[in-house]
Chains A and B, each alone.
Chain A
């Protein structure tokens, strides 16, 4: 009688069947994301509306601060609020994904110490939860565009690959932070700082046009710069160009984040149940 290959548990082993297990446990991924979304809105009065109210408020404040007071230029004839909103949506996804992913391992410690499943599922499900929010806020953007009478053109097709790029950057950074936070708890103070800082160095409140060329390369190290610029280009029919340079930088940085994050995560995963 032949036997199927055994599962071998040994110090330093685990690569081979890991990705097979990730596929086997894919339902758990959806389930964890579904649970987090569900729990977030149970017993709340405003409920789902909160996902929409937040960007609206930020948009108002930024339009006032950057548009009216600082009088920063917009792209073409695009109304300033729309410029902000179109930049805000991808940024909120990225920032939310970073925050949720970095704390995901620690807040799910009860699962990690009691059940086996490929741990990478936990931060990825946190990012998926934010993607759900992103989808909801997209409706807000469509609504505003309709109000201002701007209709999307053929440029819309880049949204899907842009989303993929954004998603990979978020997962890459999220995995790094999740692993770091589990090992060194002070990272939970670092993440809000990164998010706050990032909000001002990303073209959310302003258009990339105002950034001087001397700073361009440093500026574009931020993966969200390329994403947000092209997001605006795709939706808003402004006079901006498709930022090839920025997108290239974005892709490179995202790839580095993803591969680095995955490697570091896998390495830390082995001792996760011991340190968490």
Chain B
């Protein structure tokens, strides 16, 4: 039974927020404006700034075994980056403690320490040293780094002349050749084009297969699903789930759906709620429910759904006309359930536009009514990104013959 390599207990981080209520100082124009509107000067007086405590992390505890690849997921503002900053010793915790039994290298940003005036070669040494590599180590890996970044020709040009792609490739190349026992990565895959993301993912796979412990923060559901075996979900500063990555993603998806706010059409039928089954979406089924309310009986209610990729391109559309088994119920209050069992899509973020009406007459159309994370049960092999190969997942085979 191996001992944990990272032990976090009761970790908390508090920030003080200052609220500037009212004017900082009494300015001449405020006085003049006050004269005209009849208000007294006292209303503009400086009010005391109030302070509020904000807990970015609250009572966080977990243990990580050596060799585990852990995905840390959660909405923006859940505390993921704060946790990584504490683990990287950049920020001190307010409560609790962390015990690290290995050397940590952090990738919180790509290109830390890069100076635009220095050449690629000089920046490799600069960046490598900042990330903790010794000069000997950098010299040893120099050729590998340059080959990975594909910038041999431009090695002696100042980095400010690089294209953004080259810049990001070089920055990642240096970081990718760190050899720490614990690697902490924060959202660095969010930058760069599809080619670059492919390379990054491939390298991260290599690192994780090499037996290193990796903590990976990302919003890229497919990356997390393919790299990690364990997922920790953060919600407003505390851990809401810690376990198998598929379950963690399911919890994250269902928390990420939006329930529609009521649309007021005076005295008309309206949508009560639209929701998606997050658990199902994390297992490869799409299940969307829409409930509606109408003051009078609707003769022929119909539903249309279009699913878009996170980039905005339509992936597929479906409506009640396309389903031969659909039977419209003439009712005033009720709902629809739209199912696509075992949807042939790649894992990713999708948006849904809903069309609700009666046969031939539209009642409402809601764009981006739902945003959900779909997790395909069949995971793409490492190094292949769904953005690169489209959204439809087919069960194809390729065979050769002489």
Contact = CB atoms under 8 A, between A and B. Distances in A.
Contacts of B130: 28, 31, 111, 115, 117
A35 B92 contact: no
A10 to B, nearest CB: 4
B106 A11 contact: no
A11 B94 contact: yes
B389 interface: no
Contact of B90 (A8, A11, A12, A116): A116
Interface in A224-276: 270-271, 273-274
Contact of A11 (B89, B95, B126): B95
Nearest to B85: A273
B365 to A, nearest CB: 45
Nearest to A41: B117
B95 A115 contact: no
A196 interface: no
A interface bracket (residues with beta carbon within 8 Å of B): 20 to 34
Contact of A9 (B100, B129, B132): B100
Interface in A30-56: 31, 35, 38-39, 42-43
A7 interface: yes
B59 interface: no
Contacts of A112: 90
B47 to A, nearest CB: 23
B91 A114 contact: no
A271 B90 CA distance: 9
B117 A43 contact: yes
Nearest to B100: A7
B216 to A, nearest CB: 17
Contact of B91 (A8, A10, A39, A273): A273
A27 B90 contact: no
A35 B98 contact: no
A35 B99 contact: no
Contacts of A43: 117
B96 interface: yes
B92 A270 contact: yes
Contacts of A10: 93, 96-98
B118 interface: yes
A27 B91 contact: no
Contacts of B86: 9
A158 B160 CA distance: 45
A7 B91 contact: no
A274 B101 contact: no
A110 interface: yes
Nearest to B109: A114
Interface string A81-125: 000000000000000000000000000001111111100000000
Interface string A128-163: 000000000000000000000000000000000000
Contacts of A117: 130, 132
B157 interface: no
A110 B90 CA distance: 12
A10 B96 CA distance: 6
B113 interface: yes
B101 A11 contact: no
A27 B130 CA distance: 9
B118 A35 contact: yes
A103 to B, nearest CB: 16
A264 to B, nearest CB: 17
Nearest to A42: B117
Contacts of A11: 92-96
B122 interface: yes
A9 B87 CA distance: 8
A12 B94 CA distance: 9
Most buried by A among B15, B97, B104, B135: B97
Given A10-B98, A114-B90, A116-B90, A39 B106 contact: no
Interface in B46-99: 85-99
B109 A6 contact: no
A9 B94 contact: no
A12 B95 CA distance: 10
Given A28-B130, A270-B92, A8 B97 contact: yes
B115 interface: yes
A77 interface: no
Contacts of A12: 92
A243 to B, nearest CB: 42
A4 interface: yes
B129 A38 contact: no
Given A9-B99, A27-B135, 5 more contacts: A9-B89, A27-B134, A113-B90, A114-B112, A117-B130
13 contacts: A3-B101, A6-B7, A6-B99, A7-B99, A9-B89, A9-B98, A10-B96, A11-B95, A38-B122, A110-B113, A116-B88, A270-B92, A274-B91
Interface of B: 3, 7, 15, 85-101, 104, 106, 108-109, 112-113, 115, 117-118, 122, 125-126, 129-132, 134-135, 158
